[in-house]
Amino acid sequence: MTLLAVEGLQTFYGKSHVLREVSFAVPAGEITVLLGRNGAGKTTTLRSVMGLTPPRAGTVRFKDRDITGQPPHRVFRLGVGYVPEGRQIFPHLDVGENLRLAERAAGGGPGWTLERIFEYFPLLRERWRQRGRSLSGGEQQMLAIARALAGNPELLMLDEPSQGLAPRLVRELESILVRLRGEGVTILLVEQNARMALAVSDQVLVLGKGTLVFAGPTAEFHRREPELRGRYLAV
């Protein structure tokens, strides 16, 4: 089953035409990885889905429902979690307040209770009363993911979550993503760190300059990797 389907996306910043006819599908229950060089349009793709930069043409369908251009809070409420580049947690609020805000925005309900979130991120329980800005980079990244989970997403989109993390934390992040998939969370992962992303991916998408140049299972990506890596990925 396809959870998210994007068709013919055309996204602009002012006159600058960034995404050109981008189409892809994200199957439910899988980890789909979106790779591409700096400036290829990865973040813009996530922003287009989320309604932060609505596309000028094309459609975004989530669970067979047209959500093109819907405002971000609505897309979030429908079950799309988003962990933006650079984390963007609330620095002046403590860990508990960061999580409670997300929980409230999602309208409560069963699913990702704080207890369940702490099973994934035990450190956040210890840091409960600490302000966001006093956390380490790795802890902030974990908080950003925890906050997205508190919204009970069916689809979790993450923008370069491994950025700036120590290798040990990158491996921990990999195992968290795999565990989340095991619990039925569908993941769309944007990464420049291809090694990390390919260690967990089921499906791979590669963006060239604003156009999709590859979509296929990870094994097929590996067969074509020498060519794709040279032309479209950071070496």
Ligand X SMILES: Nc1ncnc2c1ncn2[C@@H]1O[C@H](COP(=O)(O)OP(=O)(O)O)[C@@H](O)[C@H]1O
Binding site residues, ligand X, CB under 6 A: 13, 16, 18, 36, 38-44
- DSSP label of 160: S
Identify which of residues 31 and 190 has a Cβ nearer to Mg ion in the complex. Answer: 190
Q: Least distance in Å: CB of 6 to ligand X?
A: 14
Q: Which does 18 bind (CB under 5 to 8 A by kind): Mg ion, ligand X, none?
A: ligand X
Torsion of the alpha carbons at 194, 198, 199 and 203, rounded to the nearest 10: 150
Identify which of residues 20 and 171 has a Cβ nearer to ligand X in the complex. Answer: 20
Please identify, among the stretches 34-42, 133-141, 162-170, 193-201, the one whose residues bind Mg ion according to the rule CB under 5 A: 34-42
Rg from Cα positions in the chain: 17
Q: Least distance in Å: CB of 123 to Mg ion?
A: 26
CA 181 to chain CA centroid, nearest Å: 13
CB-CB contact of 157 with 83 (8 Å): yes
- DSSP label of 210: S
Identify which of residues 43 and 48 has a Cβ nearer to Mg ion in the complex. Answer: 43
Q: Least distance in Å: CB of 36 to ligand X?
A: 5
Identify which of residues 84 and 132 has a Cβ nearer to ligand X in the complex. Answer: 84
Identify which of residues 9 and 135 has a Cβ nearer to ligand X in the complex. Answer: 9
> Counting runs of H as helices and runs of E as strands, what totals does the chain give?
10, 10
Q: Least distance in Å: CB of 113 to ligand X?
A: 33
Torsion of the alpha carbons at 88, 93, 98 and 100, rounded to the nearest 10: -160
Q: What is the DSSP string of 100-136?
A: HHHHHHTT--SSS-HHHHHHH-HHHHHTTTSBGGGS-
Q: Least distance in Å: CB of 122 to ligand X?
A: 31
Q: Least distance in Å: CB of 39 to Mg ion?
A: 8
- Can residue 43 be called a binding residue for Mg ion (CB under 5 A)? yes
Q: Which does 38 bind (CB under 5 to 8 A by kind): ligand X, Mg ion, none?
A: ligand X
Identify which of residues 87 and 127 has a Cβ nearer to Mg ion in the complex. Answer: 87
Distance CA 203, CA 217 (A): 4
Phi-psi region of 79 (alpha: psi -120 to 50; beta: other; left: phi over 0): left
Q: Which does 36 bind (CB under 5 to 8 A by kind): ligand X, Mg ion, none?
A: ligand X
* Binding residues vs Mg ion (CB under 5 A): 42-43
